[in-house]
Chains A and B, each alone.
Chain A
Amino acid sequence: MAGKPKPDAKKTSKVLKKGLHQRKHKKWTTVRFRRPETKVLSRKPKYARTSVAGKTRLDKFSTFLQPLATEKALKIIETFNTLVFLVDPHADKKQIKKYAEQLYNIKVTKVNTLIRPDGKKKAFIKISPEYEGVDIANKIGII
C-alpha cells in the first residue's frame, strides 16, 4: 500500500508565509532601468477612415499658374531661350521640368526658381536649343 507522499514541511511553511504564487525577483545587473519590450499589436481597424484615395494636389495643370509676359520676361525669352512662369510654391524644380516637358512638348535643360516677395514662385525654364523660345511662347499664347 503506497501512502500519500508527506508534504514537505519546509515548503508548506514557505507557502503559508509568502502565498501560493511566488514571483521570483529578477536580478538587475545594470544601474539603469530600461522599459521591457512588450507585445505590440498591429492595427486591425473595424472601418476605414478614408475609403477612397484623394486626388493628388499638385498635378501637371496645377503646377503652372500663369506665364509671365512682362517686358523683362519677354526679353529673357528672346535672349536666353527661357520661359518664365509663375508656379505653385510647393512645386520643385524636378516637377516643373517634368510637367513643362509634358505640357508644352519641349525639352528642358534646366529650371531656376525664386520666391517673389509676394509669396509666389517664379520659374525660369530654360529650353534646349533645338526649340525656339519665341516659337514656343507664340504657341502657348504668351506673346
Chain B
Amino acid sequence: MVKVKASELRKKDQDQLKKQVEDLKNELSTLKVAKVAGGAPAKLAKIKVVRKSIATALTVIHEKKLEKVRLDSKGKKYQPLDVRGKRTRAIRRRLTKKQENKLVLRVLKRKQNFPQRRFAVAK
C-alpha cells in the first residue's frame, strides 16, 4: 500500500478528509483482527502504513481548521496560543530580538552620531 501524501490530502475538503480518516480507521481495525487471527505478513506490514496515513490525514484536518483562525488573527497583537507557534518552552520565554537589542536613548544617539569609523589605506 502506498502511504497517502499530505499534498494530495490538502486538496480535499473537511468532509472528504473526515471520510478518509474513517475509511483508514476501518482498515486498521480489520488489520488488527488479522494480526490476532494470524494474518499474512503483507497485512501485518500494512498496519504501520495505515497508522501513519491516519496521522497525516488528521494533521491536515487540523491545519485546515487553523487556517481560518490564522487569517483572522494575523497582525493582531494577541493571537491564540496554537497560532503562535510552539517552538520550545525555553525559546518562548526568551527576550525577543527587539527587546534584546534595545538601547538606552543616550547610547543610541551616541552610536548614531559617532559610528565606528573604518579607514583604509589607498594603494
Binding site for B on A (CB under 8 A): 46-52, 55, 61, 64-69, 103, 140-143
Q: Taking the nearest CB of chain A, how far is it from the CB of B77, in angstroms?
A: 8
Given contacts A48-B80, A68-B36, 12 further A-B contacts (CB under 8 A): A47-B73, A51-B73, A51-B82, A52-B62, A52-B69, A52-B82, A61-B26, A65-B32, A66-B36, A103-B29, A141-B33, A141-B37
**Complex alpha-carbon distance, A65 and B81, angstroms:** 34
Binding site for A on B (CB under 8 A): 25-26, 28-30, 32-37, 58, 62, 65-66, 69, 73, 78-83
Q: Classify the interface of chain B: helix, strand, loop or mixed.
A: helix
Q: Taking the nearest CB of chain B, how far is it from the CB of A137, in angstroms?
A: 10
When distances are taken between beta carbons in the complex, the residues of chain A under 8 Å from B80 are: 47-51
When distances are taken between beta carbons in the complex, the residues of chain B under 8 Å from A141 are: 30, 33-34, 37
> Which of B37, B69, B81 has the largest count of A CB atoms less than 10 A from its CB?
B37
The 9 closest A-B pairs by CB, nearest first: A51-B80, A47-B78, A48-B80, A61-B25, A46-B78, A141-B33, A51-B69, A52-B65, A66-B32
Q: Is the CB of A67 within 8 A of B36?
A: yes
Q: Classify the interface of chain A: helix, strand, loop or mixed.
A: loop
Q: List 18 A-B contacts (CB under 8 A).
A: A47-B73, A47-B79, A48-B80, A49-B80, A49-B81, A50-B80, A50-B81, A51-B80, A61-B29, A66-B35, A68-B36, A103-B29, A141-B30, A141-B34, A141-B37, A142-B33, A142-B37, A143-B37
Q: A140 and B26 in contact (CB under 8 A), knowing A51-B66, A52-B66?
A: no
When distances are taken between beta carbons in the complex, the residues of chain B under 8 Å from A51 are: 66, 69, 73, 80-83
Q: Taking the nearest CB of chain B, how far is it from the CB of A37, in angstroms?
A: 31
Q: Taking the nearest CB of chain A, how far is it from the CB of B64, in angstroms?
A: 10
For residue A50, which residue of chain B has the nearest CB?
A: B82
Q: Taking the nearest CB of chain A, how far is it from the CB of B62, in angstroms?
A: 7
Q: A47 and B81 in contact (CB under 8 A), knowing A68-B36, A141-B34, A142-B33?
A: yes
**Complex alpha-carbon distance, A95 and B35, angstroms:** 24
**Complex alpha-carbon distance, A52 and B73, angstroms:** 13
When distances are taken between beta carbons in the complex, the residues of chain B under 8 Å from A65 are: 32
Q: Taking the nearest CB of chain B, how far is it from the CB of A33, in angstroms?
A: 41
Q: Taking the nearest CB of chain B, how far is it from the CB of A51, in angstroms?
A: 4
Q: Is the CB of A64 within 8 A of B29?
A: yes
